[in-house]
Amino acid sequence: MTLPKKYRRNIVVDDHKFHWHFHPYRFWVHSSFICVQDASGTGPLLKIQWVGIALPSHVECVIRFARETGWDPQGKQILEIGVNSLNEPVTFCIKPADASRHWFYDDFYNRAVREAHIVDPA
């Protein structure tokens, strides 16, 4: 399945063409995600849960990270990555096998609460 044309961007990483897609009106917690796919429209998705600003240079770094960890844009395996670009350097983590749908946001929120010493009312 190819990515929708609306809000789709092109990017070239190491002489390989990709499309990346985000929906600007869905860019808030638990809904902010970016999908990357080979520009041919075939192959598995790279699903990115994002916190912070998604600059093209950050997307390029995520694609390189995914390729280094074994994601093949022509293969069959979907890879999910969490990205925090609120601080430099941008940090990445791969979704654990037993994680929930919103694994990255849940972990990011819980870590922020612990670091700020905020008592979660829930």
Instruction: Name the nearest CA neighbour of 50 among 24, 72, 19, 15.
Output: 24
Give the gyration radius of the chain's Cα atoms: 15
pLDDT tens for residues 79-121?
A: 999 888 887 888 888 888 887 776 777 776 666 555 554 444 5
Better-scored residue on pLDDT, 15 or 118 = 15
Q: What pLDDT, on a 0 to 100 scale, did the predictor assign at position 109?
A: 61
DSSP 21-36: E--GGG-STTT-EEEE
Q: What is the pTM of this model?
A: 0.79
**Contacts (Cβ under 8 Å, ≥6 apart) of 39:** 10, 17, 18, 19
Q: Average model confidence (pLDDT) for the chain?
A: 80
> Is residue 30 within 8 Å of residue 102, measured between CB atoms?
yes
